Amino acid sequence: MRKNNKQMTTYFILFSLLLIGVVYAILQANLQINGTAKIKKNTWDIHFDNIQVNENSVSIGTGDSGAEIDSENNCKIDFEVTLSLPGDFYEFTVDVVNAGTIDGMIGELNKILKVNNEVVSEIPGYLDYSVTYADGMEIQANHKLEVGVTETYKVKLVFKTDIEELPEAATISTSLETQYLQADSSSVYRADASFATDSWSEIVSTYNTGNLTKLNQAMEEGTTKEVPLDLDNDGIAEKTAHVRIANLSIPSECETTGFSQTACGFVIEFVEVIDTHRMNPYDQDIISNGNGSKGGWEYSDMRSYLNSTKYLEGEIDEIDYTSSGIYNALPSDLKNKIINTTTVSGYGYYDSENFTTIDKLYLLSTKEVFGKEGTSGVINRDTAEIETRQLDYYLLKNVTTSSYSGAIKKNLSGAYYYWWLRSAEARYTTTFYSMSQTWGEQQVKA
């Protein structure tokens, strides 16, 4: 409870300074092998940018809230505000940008707090003061900042309302110096990345540490992340799609010999239908421009198109997608994190055994979307049904062949659209499964 036993105006003026100290590492090369080594010019540029003050903050007092770089290449922010009444606060965010060509990491963090020009070890009881990442995570030494990556700091100062006694007028000075060094083997990504906003490197690193709190939450909520697409491979992304987390778990069945890894571990799925393309041009040995299931997923034109590879049935209808296709349409930071996956796929009428391939990108199977249906259901006509499992996301959404609203997709224009599965229908010569608004329409010619 707050006591009001003093009839006086109480206020304090706060001066705060944030400083990034930039330290250069010494780069040396001593080459004793015959030949020539050329080292391209590199730049070191980590700085503050894009200061955004919370619109509900108290008005800025004196001073400039902009970021400046001094003669020693330190980037700093100075500001001065007056907090007059309990409940007053000042808050802003600022981006830390690595605009150079060398990865950085946080070295030392030096914090100094003064009250009336005297250093104190604790924040006064009437004040809340924090500097964190924008999502509230603590800033710590060794956090890595890759080239081209931007992280956001949030600074907040609050004149608390739940105080026992109003303070005398005071001047509080705070200083935080964040030192960035050239990244080395000790650097780590933040331990709990935000799927929507953090880099792919941070997200994958978080998954590899086993700290899945935020990633699980993002999967459960269907959180999406933007992915620019350069579908015509001209170096300019002309479309923006969205992905979500489809799987995080690795149950024991994933360790079974011959089990498909397509629903095991960290799996990302496009939310929209991003493009249209023929599935498989073969009906027996006759080219019919997208009308057959012979060769299944392994020899399908769709598989080559997704993975930006050469069409596998090279003697007939040879197509080379190595300079185009979906994989090459992805941004490099995402491509660099995609691993090869063992993919087991069912076969159709003209084949006699399941197909096992190694893919970076793949379509889902019937089981991976709809789960186990029963001994007489549609899924049991997918011959690879027992070699995979339902993805975590579709299990959370309770997707089945009779309840499938969680599996319906739209294209990038916002219209409902069917989407291919990699499973051939075992009884027919021309059918791969697909998912649409009406599951009864699943048997679509390839």
Asked if 175 and 35 sit in the same domain, the reply is yes
- Map residue 147 onto helix, strand or coil: coil
Rounded CA-CA distance 218/375 in Å is: 34
- For residues 172 and 276, state if they share a domain: no
d(CA 32, CA 443): 65
Among the candidates 147, 166, 182, a domain finishes at 182
Indicate if 166 and 284 belong to the same structural domain.
no
Amino acid identity for residue 370 in this structure: F
Contacts (Cβ under 8 Å, ≥6 apart) of 252: none
Q: Which of 319, 291, 252, 232 is nearest to 431 (CA)?
A: 291
Q: Average pLDDT for residues 285-294, to the nearest whole number?
A: 57
Q: Write a three-state SS string for 393-404.
A: HHHHCCCCCCCC
∠ CA 238-267-347 to the nearest 5 degrees? 95
Determine, yes or no, domain membership for 214. Answer: no
Residue 361 scores a pLDDT above 70: yes
**146, 164, 182 - which closes a domain:** 182
Over residues 405-410, the mean pLDDT reads 88
**pLDDT tens digits for range 4-41:** 333 333 334 344 344 444 333 333 444 445 555 666 77
Banded model confidence at residue 156, pLDDT cuts 50, 70, 90: confident
Among residues 72, 408, 400, 422, the alpha carbon closest in space to that of 262 is found at: 422
Query: What residues does 410 pair with on adjacent strands?
Result: 416
State mean pLDDT over 125-134: 83
- Does 333 share its domain with 420? yes
pLDDT at 224 over 90: yes
Domain count of the chain? 2
Q: Is the pLDDT higher at 292 or at 433?
A: 433
Same domain, 151 and 290: no
pLDDT per residue as tens digits for the range 364-399: 999 999 987 554 455 557 899 999 999 999 999 999
93 belongs to a structural domain: yes
For the chain, what percent of residues have pLDDT higher than 70? 78
3-state helix, strand, coil in the chain (%, to 5): 15, 35, 55
In a domain, 316, yes or no: yes
Last residue of a domain, one of 138, 162, 182: 182
Residue 148 is encoded by which pair of tokens? Answer: 């081209």
Which string of DSSP letters, residue by residue, matches 23-70? -PPPP-----SSS----------EEEEEEEE-TTSPPB-SS--SEEE-
Q: pLDDT by residue (tens digit) across 236-272?
A: 999 999 999 999 999 999 989 999 999 999 999 999 9
Predicted local distance difference test score (pLDDT) of residue 1: 27
**166 or 75: which leads in pLDDT:** 75
Both tokens of residue 408? 């319906």
Would residue 233 count as lying in a domain?
Answer: no
Summarize the confidence of residues 163-186 as an average pLDDT.
Answer: 80
The highest-confidence range among 73-77, 215-219, 405-409, by mean pLDDT, is 215-219
If asked whether residues 27 and 174 sit together in one domain, one would say: yes
Helix and strand totals (H; E) in the chain: 6, 23
Q: Output the pLDDT for position 10.
A: 34
> Per the domain annotation, does 440 fall within a domain?
yes
**Which residue did the predictor score with more confidence, 67 or 268?**
268
* Residue 425 lies in domain: 252-445
Q: Is 437 in the same domain as 296?
A: yes
pLDDT in the model for residue 195: 93
Q: Is the pLDDT of residue 95 over 90?
A: no
DSSP symbols for 160-227 = -SS-SBPPPPEEEEEEEEEEEEE--TT-B--SS--TTTS-HHHHHHHHHHT--HHHHHHHHHT-EEEE
Same domain, 151 and 261: no
Q: Is residue 192 part of a domain?
A: no
Compare 11 and 306 and report the one with higher pLDDT.
306
Q: Is 354's pLDDT higher than 90?
A: yes
293 assigned to some structural domain: yes
